[in-house]
Structure 1
Amino acid sequence: MQCDLMTIAPEVTSTSPAAGLLQRAGDLSHLETLHQRLLWLSCWTIHHANHLRKKDERDVKVGGHQASSASMAAILTALYFHALRPGDRVAVKPHAGPVFHAIQYLMGNQTRDRLENFRGYGGVQSYPSRTKDMDDVDFSTGSVGLGAAMPIFASLVQDYLQGHGRAAPLGRMVALIGDAELDEGNIYEALQEGWKHDLRNVWWVIDYNRQSLDGVVREGLFARIEASFAAFGWRVVRLKYGALQREAFAEPGGEKLRGWIDACPNALYSALTFQGGAAWRRRLMEDLDDQGPASALIESRSDAELAALMENLGGHCLASLCEAFDATTGEQPTVFLAYTVKGWGTPLAGHKDNHAGLMTVGQMAQFQQTMAIPEGAEWEPFAAVADEAGLRNFLSRVPFFSEGRRRFTAPQLPVPATIAPTDRILSTQAGFGKILDEIARLGGPLADRIVTTSPDVTVSTNLGGWVNRRGLFARTTKADTFRDERIPSTQKWAFTPGGQHIELGIAEMNLMLLLGAAGLSHSLFGERLIPIGTVYDPFVARGLDALNYACYQDSRFMLVGTPSGITLAPEGGAHQSIGSPLIGMSQDGLAAFEPAFLDELAIIMGWSFDYLQRDGEQDPDPRTGLADAAGGSVYLRLSTRPVEQPLRRPNPGFAQGVIDGAYWLREPGPNAEVVIAYQGVVAPEAIRAAGRIAGARRDVGVLAVTSADRLHAGWTAARHAPDGVSQADRLLAGLPPHCLIVTVIDGHPMTLGWLGAVRGHRTAPLGVERFGQTGRIADLYRHFGIDADGIVAAVGRHSAGRPLG
């Protein structure tokens, strides 16, 4: 469905949904005043940071986006002060962040000090941030395309909660995006996923200013945009003409003017906007040249009036915006294609180079005069407002802000004991599936709040048992056709509103975005979920931008990468991960583990269910240096290789070591010559190698590393703390200086290669640095030197010339 505001009557009629509010006590006038205030405050904030705030001579340009803010000022005005309700959630275009913060400043949710420190340490962030900004940011934005897609998955989470008994009214999930963001591929992956899940209650408002960072958007893009959204079942509303233009079209000669506007190339429209009224007049008179009604229409206006008419596009016309928003009812996802001028209302309007451009001091002075802002009153929220009392009264009844800040909390769920499977030989991937299946079988509050998801690899990542017990989610019930047709199958594939697995297509970006949205459910909707997502470990990298985005928002989820490494030998190099352990170590907000044994995995999963729910201070724990009280997300790197399991290990020190990152599987003696430190599925090779060299080397130790991430983070934190002692320090403190540490992992050797730096020991790091190939596990381990023979050989090479006996 397409609603084109080119066909809307020139005036808002008494039957329009917007008419009642906009005709009440001059509300439209107040919106116009707010638009001017936001335009000024956003531009002034950026100007102050670049031209007035004291800077170090080494500082580069502070930056900001005055033009991109200006093009969205009216859109944000109409949304926040007219259309939105408290249950709605908004992702604001990154470069329109200053307008958002100006809105919060006017409403008392942002401070002048932080605005004055825009893009400075401790000040307002460059782009809206849930965790770094103090005001009411719903979704962080910054990496273009991701903020646009996030509301789609937030809407899906909202539907999931409703299917599981949440009674709160459904809100609209809104994205304000730039037209250039539509070049991002994840946009279309998200649109397709939304279509699969019968998406509803989502609005996208596209700032169609037809300019990007380096140039002008390709002609005719609007038709492709509209076709793409329509193909996925969205309602398309084209906001092209403002009220002034629609009135002019009704005049004699108006249709000819409209035809000229429709045919005008983007670059020319921008250039004429920058040049102003006289340029518009010359070009229109030359092109229309009818010596009749069209010429008369142009001649009847001054240069200033003509410029105002030609720049009165739908995205800058508050009456048109409010009318369109109010007329858009129902749950169908809707995209508003709002035509705008980049830099509207400023001296930068329309110029090709205005994206990162800044008004000069002279231009700002002219702009200040135009906006009638007295000198010294630049930061005053209501400067130059004629009816301040009336405006304050209007703001007091704006629906969106009527319930105050919209950050919720949810009670923590009790975590039952997590029991490891008793299999003598099993892989960690299969163990993960068995643990989840047992949680599903036993039930309880935690089990009921777990939601799993996977990009088309549900069964192959061992979620099948969980799904068979807990079902798949859909807003409407869908039968399992194979079962209805009595065709034998191990999987129960029926969909219901109460199902607890969300089936995704194969796009890993969508997995990370859904985990990010579900992991904010406690804050966005006041309902806690425990999201668990599984993905083939090598393809964590395909969703890495969205994973980083989710962690940046402090979303809480468990990501399970499995199968991993060259251990997935028959699948070949394309399906074998090398650098994912380093991703786990370097990603903030994500505690990464790679257990070798099932008892370790059970301990880690139990700890993780609690860790995901923590919301304490960032103060480091004096014992580990880690800010565990603050909580975070968790990444498990698991394997398909069955491993013989150790006997029961009830020692509480063992469990603590698993969580802290490492423990001694075989504690070294006081004269240890060699320690073999391993992480993950290569445990049998490390143990076998230690046994082989034990007769030739004294006091050999075997260090089981369960989390290089936490072990390394604790070590670096301790180095910055007075008297800090990390887990790595404690474990390696007793090793004599001559001891050799051989590290081994089915992954990049840098993961553990740093261990020698803890106490200054020689280190021989073994691992995988090149693409693997198809083969048997034994062949690939031998090729990369991470089998027992390779470990023994490394001991011989690095033992100060002492050959093995």
Structure 2
Amino acid sequence: MTELDIDHLETLHRRLLWLSCWTIHNANHLRDKDEGDVKVGGHQASSASMAAILTALYFHALRPEDRIAVKPHAGPVFHAIHYLMGNMPLEKMQNFRGYGGVQSYPSRTKDVDDVDFSTGSVGLGVAITSFASMVQDYLEGHGREAPLGRMVALIGDAELDEGNIYEALQEGWKHDLRNVWWVIDYNRQSLDGVVREGLFGRIEAIFSAFGWRVVRLKYGALQRAAFDEPGGEALRNWIDDCPNALYSALTFQGGAAWRKRLIEDFGEDSEARALIDRRDDAELARLMENLGGHCLQSLCEAFDEAKSDDTPTVFLAYTVKGWGTPLAGHKDNHAGLMTPAQMAEFQTAMAVPEGEEWQPFAAVSDEAKLRGFLNDVPFFAKGARRYAAPALSCPERVTLNDKVLSTQAGFGKILDQIARQGGPLADRILTCSPDVTVSTNLGGWVNRRGLFARDARADTFRDERIPSAQKWAFSPNGQHIELGIAEMNLMLMLGAAGLSHSLFGERLIPVGTVYDPFVARGLDALNYACYQDARFLLVGTPSGVTLAPEGGAHQSIGTPLIGMAQDGLAAFEPAFLDELSIIMDWSFDYLQRDGEGDPDERTWLRDETGGSVYLRLSTRPMEQPHHRDDAAFEQGVIDGAYWLREPGHNAEVVIAYQGTVADQAIEAAGRIAGDRRDIGVLAVTSADRLNAGWTAARRARARGQAAAESLAERLLGRLPSHCTLITVIDGHPATLSWLGAVAGHRTVPLGVEHFGQTGTIGDLYRHFGIDADAIVAAASRIAPGRPIRLMA
């Protein structure tokens, strides 16, 4: 790297520091705000501490195949980089944190520049880079020939408090992680204070234990040169011994404070005092603040050295929060903003002429030379790095002919049949599970398709001729990734694999299984994956109190509501195998859609945009209905509901159920039918889609589309006003209770609201009032007419 290159990087560093701070200042002090608005916010100090690191990465170290998760609070610097390179329009920058402007934190779905991974201050953007690297290895094992990139995460030191980071570290070690860089902005300040002393030692020990290379970037080139002067060893020792809070405070106070404290502490050490005396206050402040994370020469040298192999590497880059601004070092600077007076002072220091604040190359002495340098920057050489992959053709739907079977077992049989048949879809399915592969019925798939590892590993039990139903051999072309028992890691793997078409240009169909109650354990990462528009099939099974003997710890209650509330996720809970088969067939297509968002006027759902799918399945064997293959039935299954028993014109009671309580609803309907007129049974396969269509149709009518009518309104709108809805689900009753609001019908919601316990299914269904007797009793209490017999 030449001295001229360093000069260009220094210029770029100053430009990015200015543009990021100005963007935040404009949003808070200059842009018109609605009356009553509080401050817009932003993170000038957090951006400043990472400006040099981003400069060295984007304009020197990175290549187009690399993928980066930017520290959320450094988002303004990231956007400034793309603005400088012509990839971000000015109006987006001027509307930072405003409607239609750049997001507070980098978002791959809501920002227009080249965001690889969305980030927020919860460690998820850090951890997903490990799983993206594993996906890249998986693709290489399956024939991808593109050069391997590095998955890079830029991390705030306080973000290391997040537990999912350490779960990901352990999972990465299990899978021989490589080609990952994490760069820690070690400014030793968090939102409310100063990071605990000695944290760097814990960080280094943890990463070393998991086989990472640790690179400590503590001293900049100025400091290293000073250490070679007489008295330099004393200066180094002072820096090493200085508490974090004191170092920050002296940085904020400036050169005179540095001089006073150093001379006082050096005492009779004449060489050390002379080293200080050779520098004026400004030079002394520049020396003491020349930490490794702000020194472009040190950063570039460290990145170049780490490129020599694919060892996962963590860079512990010492920085000063707010470096280069009037906020530098103050403990309250996290959400602090420069005042107009401070900004004017900063503008003078940065030599930006008045009126040229938004000019990308303001204060650049030789713009032509700098542009020439930028034209040769490798990272931007190939333009946008978002890929697309063609949709896979789906084989003929798998149908099951079992007379009695659970939906969980049916799911396993359908996947096994797909594996046996082969073809493009089967070859692109990637399954994964957090140590529950066999118990969620993935065993058949794994036996046919194998487990993935970069290096082949034999099935020892098979080699030793020990009988086992599982073929547990690993190879680079296996199609199942076995994860440890950490649901956050499962969701992050689904997120990374579900972005493969965009990150790597290769389509994958990720399928993940998890015990349904533990969806909540990974909910943060599930939401994160959906926010990025990752595409995957999540199977939560077994579910509900129907898993009776397992007890309350393994019984889910609120997961149907999660399915309804989670954006980007279409949730289904089929009761029967034919429903499951239809839903899975539809899902494989839905995961691959990427069309316009115009609603389908049949449902008012924007299905052409596609998304991910969540199946809530059960281990309870169910007697299957007679063969059903008419188009209306199939469409109802996908849209969310169909009449299992269509009500008459004078219906007094309609029973609406979702999931494995179907047999209870059917039995209850048979017992009630002799005493109540025209009873109906509504089979709800997706409360999520049924509800979403209803609310979308209401919004459409509010916008003037008077004819908009949802499926829920068509199903329930014809019922007489005196009809009562009894809703029942092995889950929270609120999942279906809203049905009464569709057309104003009285509703009795039955479901599970409290933690379960061990027992038989009959015991628990009776305890929670979701059995046939409870449904009949509800009808008896509220329906007019003759008394209903309460027992079969």
**Could you tell me whether the CA contact under 8 Å between 2:516 and 2:543 is conserved in 1?**
yes
Residues 430-469 of structure 1: matches in 2 within 5 Å? 430-469=409-448
Whether the 8 Å CA contact 1:420–1:431 is kept in 2: the answer is no
Q: Does 1:702 align with 2:686?
A: no
Matched, 1:758 2:742: yes
Counterpart of 1:385 in structure 2 is 364
Contact 1:151 1:202 (8 Å CA) reproduced: yes
Local SS of the residue matching 2:678:
coil
The 8 Å contact of residues 274 and 348 in structure 1, kept in 2 or not, is answered as yes
Note the alpha carbon deviations across 1:619-676, whole angstroms, 9 max, x for none. Answer: 2111111010000000000000000000111210000000000000000011100000
For the residues of structure 1 that align with 2:395 and 2:726, how far apart are their CA atoms? 38
The answer (yes or no) to whether the contact 2:675–2:786 under 8 Å persists in 1 is no
Partner in structure 1 of residue 337 of structure 2 = 358
Alignment partner of 1:540 is 2:519: yes
Q: Does 1:274 align with 2:274?
A: no
Q: C-alpha displacement at 1:291, in angstroms?
A: 4.7
Note the C-alpha offset of 1:801: 8.2
Matched, 1:559 2:508: no
CA apart distance, 1:798 = 2.3
* Structure 2 CA distance for aligned equivalents of residues 794 and 243 of structure 1: 79
Q: Distance in 2 between matches of 1:763 and 1:475?
A: 56
CA separation in 1, counterparts of 2:400 and 2:412? 10
Residue 783, structure 1, aligned to residue 736, structure 2: no
Separation (CA, whole Å) in 2 of partners of 1:107 and 1:648: 61
Letter matched to residue 2 of structure 2: L
Aligned-residue offset at 1:57: 1.6
Alpha-carbon distance in structure 2 between the residues aligned to 1:135 and 1:719:
34
- In the TM superposition, what is the alpha-carbon distance from 1:802 to its structure 2 partner? 6.4
Which one-letter code corresponds to 1:498 in the other structure?
Answer: N
Distance 2:2 2:633 in 1: 68
Q: Distance in 1 between matches of 2:787 and 2:371?
A: 84
Contact persistence 1:280–1:307 (CA under 8 A) = yes
| Displacement after TM superposition at 1:244 (Å) | 0.4
Q: Please tell me whether residue 246 in structure 1 is matched to residue 242 in structure 2.
A: no
Distance 1:22 1:715 in 2: 63
The alpha carbon displacement at 1:796 in A equals 1.6
Matches within 5 A, 1:471-486: 471-486=450-465
- Equivalent residue in structure 2 for 1:122, among 87, 91, 100: 100
Q: What does the per-residue CA deviation read over 1:712-754, in whole Å, with 9 as the maximum and x for residues that have no partner?
A: 0000000011221101011112111100000000000000000
Aligned to 1:5: none
| Aligned 8 A contact 2:500 2:507 in 1 | yes
What TM-score, normalized by structure 2, do the two folds share? 0.98
Q: Give, in angstroms, the shift of residue 419 of structure 1.
A: 1.8
Q: After the TM superposition, which residues 303-314 of structure 1 pair with which residues of structure 2 at under 5 Å, given as runs?
A: 303-314=281-292
What is the alpha-carbon distance in structure 2 between the residues aligned to residue 415 and residue 669 of structure 1? 39
In structure 1, the partner of 2:547 is 568
Q: Which residue of 2 aligns with 1:195?
A: 173
> Residue 415 of structure 1 aligns to which amino acid in structure 2?
C
* Cα distance in structure 1, aligned partners of 2:385 and 2:110: 16
User: What does residue 733 of structure 2 align with?
Assistant: 749
Match of 1:324 in 2: 302
Number of aligned pairs? Answer: 783
Query: 1:63 is matched by which residue type in structure 2?
Result: G
**Alignment partners' CA distance in 2, 1:432 and 1:61:** 51
Match of 1:234 in 2: 212
Aligned to 2:710: 726
- Residue identity in the other structure for 1:553: Q
Structure 1 segment 160-171 matched on structure 2, within 5 A:
160-171=138-149
**5 Å matches for 1:643-682?**
643-682=622-661
**1:591-670 counterparts in 2 under 5 A?**
591-670=570-649
Q: Note the 1:415-434 alignment, pairs <5 A.
A: 415-434=394-413
Which 4+ runs in 1 deviate beyond 4 A?
none
Which residue of 2 is the match for residue 795 of structure 1?
Answer: 779
Contact 1:31 1:78 in 2 (8 A): yes
Matches of residues 686-697 of structure 1 in structure 2 within 5 Å? 686-697=665-676
Instruction: Report the equivalent of 2:271.
Output: 293
From 28, 32, 47, the equivalent of 2:25 is 47
Does the 8 Å contact 1:148/1:175 carry over to 2?
yes
Answer yes or no: is the 8 Å Cα contact 2:457–2:474 preserved in 1. Answer: yes
Q: Report the Cα distance in structure 2 between the residues aligned to 1:800 and 1:207, rounded to whole angstroms.
A: 70
**Partner SS state of residue 408, structure 1:** coil
| CA offset digits 1:650-709 (Å, max 9, x no partner) | 210000000000000000011100000000000000000000000110000000000000
Correspondent of 1:502 among 467, 481, 491? 481
1:220 is matched with which residue? 198
User: CA offset at residue 77 of structure 1?
Assistant: 0.0
Q: How does 1:75-114 map onto structure 2 within 5 Å? A: 75-114=53-92
Residue 365 of structure 1 aligns to a residue whose secondary structure is helix
Instruction: Name the SS for the 2:660 alignment partner.
Output: helix
3-state SS, counterpart of residue 681 of structure 1: coil
Deviations along 1:572-599, whole A, 9 cap, x unmatched?
A: 0010000000000000000000000000
Q: Report how far residue 420 of structure 1 moved.
A: 2.4
Aligned 8 A contact 1:69 1:95 in 2 = yes
Q: 1:158 aligns with which of 123, 136, 149?
A: 136
- 1:86 is paired with a residue whose SS is coil
| Counterpart amino acid of residue 41 in structure 2 | G
Residue number among 148, 168, 179 corresponding to 2:126 in the alignment: 148
Deviation at 1:22, TM superposition (A): 2.7
Matched, 1:260 2:238: yes
How far, CA to CA, are the matches of 1:201 and 1:553 in structure 2?
22
Q: Residue 57 of structure 1 is aligned with which of 28, 32, 35?
A: 35
Aligned Cα root-mean-square deviation (Å): 0.7
What letter matches 2:139 in structure 1?
A: L
Q: Distance in 1 between matches of 2:784 and 2:219?
A: 80
Question: What's 1:339 paired with?
Answer: 318
Q: Deviations over 1:384-441 (max 9, x none)?
A: 0001000000000000000000000000000112222111000000000000000000
The aligned amino acid for 1:341 is: V
**Unpaired runs of at least 5, structure 1:** 1-20
Are residues 689 and 143 of structure 1, via their aligned partners in 2, closer, same or farther at CA, if it must alter by over 3 Å?
farther
Contact 2:88–2:112, Cα closer than 8 Å, also in 1: yes
Aligned equivalents of 1:751, 1:291: Cα separation in 2: 75
Segments of 5+ residues of structure 2 without an aligned counterpart are none
- Provide the rounded CA distance (Å) in 1 between the counterparts of 2:716 and 2:269: 92
The one-letter amino acid of 1:340's match is T
Aligned-residue identity in percent: 80
Question: SS at the partner of 1:720?
Answer: helix
Q: Which of 483, 486, 489 is the equivalent residue of 2:468?
A: 489
Q: How far apart, CA to CA, are the structure 2 residues paired with 1:281 and 1:363?
A: 24
Give, as a single letter, the amino acid of the residue that structure 1 aligns with 2:10: E
Shift of residue 143, structure 1, vs aligned partner:
4.1
Aligned to 2:152: 174
1:9 counterpart residue number = none
Query: Displacement, 1:799?
Result: 2.2
Q: 1:596–1:683: 8 Å Cα contact kept in structure 2?
A: yes
Cα 1:143–1:795 shift into 2, 3 Å: farther
The alignment partner of 2:661 has SS state of helix
Q: Give the Cα–Cα distance (whole angstroms) in 1 for the partners of residues 396 and 539 of structure 2.
A: 20
Alpha carbons 2:121, 2:159 under 8 Å: kept: no
The question of whether the paired residues in 1 share the 8 Å contact of 2:675 and 2:785 is answered with no
Aligned-partner SS, 1:174: strand
Q: Residue 499 of structure 2: which of 520, 526, 547 is its match?
A: 520
User: Are the structure 2 counterparts of residues 730 and 281 from structure 1 closer, same or farther at C-alpha, using a change threshold of 3 Å?
Assistant: same
Go from structure 1 to structure 2 and tell me whether the alpha carbon gap of 1:764 and 1:324 turns closer, same or farther (over 3 Å shift).
same
CA distance in structure 2 between the partners assigned to 1:377 and 1:622 by the alignment? 50
Q: Distance in 2 between matches of 1:290 and 1:624?
A: 83
Q: In 2, distance between residues paired with 1:268 and 1:358?
A: 22
Amino acid aligned to 2:594: D
Give secondary structure in 2 for the equivalent of 1:489: coil
Structure 2 counterpart of 1:304, one-letter code? A
Counterpart secondary structure, 2:682: strand
Cα distance in 2, alignment partners of residues 250 and 364 from structure 1:
37
